[in-house]
Each structure stands twice: as C-alpha cells, then as structure tokens.
Amino acid sequence: MEDDNPKAQGKAMEMNGFGKDALAATNSEKLKNVDQEGVQAPSGFGVRHVQTVLLFFGLTVAYALRVNLSVAVVVMVDKDAANPDFEEFDWNEKTKSLILSSFFWGYVLTQIPAGQMALRFGPKVLLLCSLGVCSTLAVLTPWFAHIGGSQLVIALRVVQGLSQGFIFPSTHTMLSKWAPVSERGTLGTYCYAGAQFGTVIMLAVSGVLAASSMGWPSIFYFSGAAGCIWSILWFLFGSNSPVEHRSISAEERNFIESSLGNQDHSKKIVTPWAAIFTSAPMIALIITHSSHNWGFWTLLTEMPSYMKSVLGLDIKKNALLSSLPYLVMWILSFVFSPISDFLINRQYLSRVACRKVFNSIGLWIPMCALLGLAFVPKGETDTAIALLTIAVGINAATYLGFQVNHIDLAPNHAGTMMGITNCAANIMSIIAPLIVGQVLTDEEDPVQWRTVFYIAAAIYCIGNLVFITLGKAEIQPWNEPRNATDSETGVPNNQANANTVDHVD
C-alpha cells in the first residue's frame, strides 16, 4: 500500500530530484537533530555513538592488518634496511608481488555471501570472528615465515583475506540497524574513516618498529595485539541492534527505530540477482570500483618499495612519508562530505551530477598526478612525494562518488551490491601487484616505474569515464521484491522510507 504521509512523500520526491528543497535549505540545522518522523535526537553521547567508535577502531585494526606487510616486506628481504639482527628472506620481486596480492585471493571469496550471513547470524559475531582470526594469524606471521618461507606466508595471508571479507558487509549491516537517517552520513563517515586512520598509523609506526630492538617481527606483533584487544572490547560492548542492547535508553532506542521506520523483519527480501547484474548503473559501479582499486592498491602495496629503491629513503623516512598520503585522504574525507551535502541540499547540483563531479575529482586528479609522477627525475624527492600525496589523498572524493552510489540505486540491497562490486574490485587488487611484479624486473629503474604509473592512470581514466556515461542516482525499480509492492501501483511499501536514506561515506 502506498504511503499517504505527505512528509514521507515530500522526502521521497526530494530524493528523486522532484520539487524544491526549501525545507532542507531553511531548516538544515534542525534536520541534523530530528529524524523524518519528527522525533528529537537524544542529547549527549549515546550507545549508537559507542557502536560507531567501536566500528571506527575495528576498521582501523582491519586496515593495519592489511598493510602491515607492505612495509615489513621491504625489511624482510633486506635486513640492512633496519635492524640487521633478524632473519632475511631471499624473495625476488615476483615472490614479493605474490605475497602482497595473496591477501585478496581469500578476500574476494567471502564478499558476496558475507552480506547474507550478516543478516542471518548478526554482524557482531562475524566481526568478532573475522578480526579475532586475522589478528591471531598476524601474531603468528614471523613464525610462519621462519618455518615455511613464502609458501606458508602466502597461505596465511589467504586465510586472513578470507576472514576480512566479512568486515565491510557486516559494517554495512551494523549501520543499517544503528544509524538514524538524519545521522547516517555523519556516522558512516566517522566509521569508515577508520580505514584510512589504520593505514596511516600502521605505515607511520612500521619503520620505527622495524628499526627497534624487536625488529620487523614487532610490526606483526603490534598490529595483531591491537586486533586482539579490539576483539575483547567488541565482545563486551558491541551489539547487533538497539533491540538487543541491554543498556540503551528508551529515548535513544525510540529515536533510532522511528527514524528507520516500521519494517517487517519476518519477511525475507529476495535479492534480484538478474536485475542487479543486468543494470547499466550497477555495471558502471563494478567497473568504476575496480578501476579505483587498481590504482589505490598499486600505490598502497608498492609505495614503500618505490620510496626505498627510486627515492633512496631509509626505512624510517620511508614509512612516515608512505603514511602521509593516507593522512591527507583521512582528513579530506571529512572535508568533502559536508561540501557534497551542501551542494545537494541547496540544489546547486543534482544528486547524480554531484556523484559524478566528486568521482571525477577522486579519479581524474589522481590520474593527472600519476602522469606527472612518471616524469619526475630520480633526484626530485619532494616533487615525487607531493604527487604521491595528491594521487592518494584526493581519492577521498570517491566516498561521495561511486562508493555511496550503491545506496542511491537500491537502499534495500546496498550491502549485497557492495559485496558484488567489492569482490570484482579486489580481483583487481590481486592482479595489480602481479602486473607490477612482471613490469618491475629492476625496481631501481625509474623507466619501469613510469610504466606502472601509466597503467594505473589509464585505468583511472577509463573507470571514471564509464561512471560519467552510465552512472545514475535514482532508486532503481528492482529495489524491492515483487511481494513487497502494492499490487495495483507497484510502489514499494517502504519506498518513502527507502528514499529518505541519505548516504554512507
């Protein structure tokens, strides 16, 4: 049955680009604290904020566990680069590339089923097992390398990837239960900013740890211990939903539930797989997400090697400067988000135009930086670092481009869609380091690095061009299953509620 609530209809029209946004323009401050049903947000730091903080640090740990090997492998193959008292391994560039890409071999396998499992078993237990297993294996990495060499390290990284495949779908499920519509953009931004924060922290401290008396194994001990501590805190304070939390106030629970609307959770929403995979905007998302991951993970995994071999930086400076681009990206994620909301709410740009503008900023400016980096002379260290910082930091704009577009297209299936695009994108994360390993026969040769940057720039260009051409930001007709629609009008029962979803960054 159609929703005859004028307020809900007005918001549905607003999200689909109809009518004027005078209400948002005149009452923007009030909307920050009131949900669509008019329920006032409780004051102070609530349980929903506790869950957001826990998710922030969970993603911090997750990314620290992903990138710890990027710096550690530089020292593992050259003990003179840091503390020479620890074991050295005779791994060539191809072996290093296999090790660095192996995480994603397992990661892609659990992306699509993870969203369905989070709905069935709850995201809390999946996040607990995911980071608990991954953290334990991180602590065991030095021992595995000692007894089994590259083969056992690769096997370990595959299992770590399998476990981490549950993190993003589970995080999406958590936010769908805990984030009121009026706060979803803010809470989502704070939550996902943990990914870049973890990258910054791990890259910054890895060089110091490798040069310390504990040597390169301490990189894995540090990140693994942090994950184990987080797992304990998550077990104690994490919760699947407000309904299951034992100490949430009635006021806060009412605020969250009234915002999310009355939903019949007894009904099973069937995923429209055929419609999803034949949707042009969805295909654009898959291609754009894949192109982004190619460039992003090429730089993330190879930057420490580039800084050591081409720029001639020692491991401490290498690690600190490698973290700088991700610090900039973390900061810019908080800058771009309010700008995007302002442009859309004041109707300076339509939603789809805003998505394409920010996606272009996030992919084409880094593309230009990579092309510039290809021609930086070997001695121009400052210029190279500046261009690397631009190439990575400006990527933050994609949070307001393709990365939020899943929710624009189909709020009810955004988690599954993210699993699909993230699966395809992380296949690129596997291939990219392998291609780099084939191109770089001599990692001290700037000409070979130039080819690496050319490839990444070209893929960035193509990916964003597809998004500009095929991308949309309207609710798609397959958002709801047939049995959830009105038999006469075909309008989903909770269309108004679905259309009021803001965005998750």
pLDDT in tens, 214-266: 889 999 999 999 999 999 999 999 998 888 888 888 888 888 888 766 555 55
Q: How far apart are CA 272 and CA 282, in angstroms?
A: 12
Task: Provide the pLDDT for residue 111.
Answer: 87
Instruction: Count Cα neighbours of 143 within 13 Å in the Cβ-side half-sphere.
Output: 6
Are residues 321 and 234 both part of a single domain? no
Tokens for 224?
Answer: 């693994």
Domain CATH for 310 = 1.20.1250.20
Are residues 229 and 310 both part of a single domain? no
In the numeric block, the tokens 């106030």 are attached to 249
What confidence tier does 5 reach under pLDDT thresholds 50, 70, 90?
Answer: very low
pLDDT tens-digit map of 143-165: 999 998 889 999 999 999 999 99
Task: Provide the pLDDT for residue 278.
Answer: 93
Q: Show which of 201, 226, 245 is a domain's final residue.
A: 245
DSSP state of 88: -
Task: Provide the pLDDT for residue 6.
Answer: 43
Task: Provide the pLDDT for residue 97.
Answer: 80
Q: Are 264 and 398 in contact (CB under 8 A)?
A: no
Which whole-number Å values give the CA distances from 91 to 294, 440, 445, in the listed order? 23, 14, 18
| Residue 262 belongs to a domain | no
Q: How far apart are CA 107 and CA 104, in angstroms?
A: 5
Tokens for 153?
Answer: 């390290």
Are residues 241 and 284 both part of a single domain? no
Q: How far apart are CA 494 and CA 180, in angstroms?
A: 16
| Residue 28 belongs to a domain | no
Are residues 220 and 276 both part of a single domain? no
In the numeric block, the tokens 């991700």 are attached to 326
Which whole-number Å values give the CA distances from 450 to 311, 370, 455, in the listed order? 14, 9, 9
| Residue 294 belongs to a domain | yes
Q: Are 318 and 304 in contact (CB under 8 A)?
A: yes
Q: Are 93 and 443 in contact (CB under 8 A)?
A: yes
Q: How far apart are CA 285 and CA 360, in angstroms?
A: 14
Are residues 349 and 473 both part of a single domain? yes
Among 10-19, 82-91, 214-223, 282-291, the minimum mean pLDDT is found in 10-19
Are residues 162 and 285 both part of a single domain? no
Are residues 65 and 137 both part of a single domain? yes
pLDDT tens-digit map of 102-124: 888 889 889 888 877 887 788 89
Are residues 76 and 163 both part of a single domain? yes
Q: How far apart are CA 167 and CA 62, in angstroms?
A: 8
Among 27-36, 184-193, 328-337, 390-399, the minimum mean pLDDT is found in 27-36
What confidence tier does 501 reach under pLDDT thresholds 50, 70, 90?
Answer: very low
Give residue 228's domain range.
46-245
Q: How far apart are CA 209 and CA 72, in angstroms?
A: 10
Mean pLDDT of 162-182: 83
Instruction: Count Cα neighbours of 480 within 13 Å in the Cβ-side half-sphere.
Output: 19
Tokens for 357?
Answer: 């503008």
Q: How far apart are CA 338 and CA 43, in angstroms?
A: 22
| Residue 360 belongs to a domain | yes
Is residue 129 classed exposed, middle or buried when 0-12, 13-18 and 19+ CB atoms within 10 A define those classes? middle
DSSP state of 92: -
Are residues 305 and 429 both part of a single domain? yes
| Residue 257 belongs to a domain | no
Tokens for 453?
Answer: 């940057």
Q: Which residues pair with 40 in a beta bridge?
A: 34
Helix axes 250-260, 47-76, angle to 10 degrees: 80
- If DSSP states are collapsed to H, E and C, what string results for 431-476? HHHHHHHHHCCCCCCHHHHHHHHHHHHHHHHHHHHHHHHHCCCCCC
pLDDT tens-digit map of 469-492: 999 988 888 877 555 444 334 444
- What's the chain's average pLDDT? 80
In the numeric block, the tokens 């943990």 are attached to 194
Q: Is the overall model pTM greater than 0.85, yes or no?
A: no
Number of domains present in the structure of the chain: 2
Are residues 237 and 372 both part of a single domain? no
In the numeric block, the tokens 């900039």 are attached to 328
Are residues 444 and 387 both part of a single domain? yes
Are residues 302 and 230 both part of a single domain? no
Residues 6+ apart with CB under 8 A from 274: none
DSSP state of 211: H
Q: Are 127 and 234 in contact (CB under 8 A)?
A: yes
Selection from 267, 271, 279, 274 nearest residue 484 by Cα: 267
Q: Which amino acid is at 354?
A: C
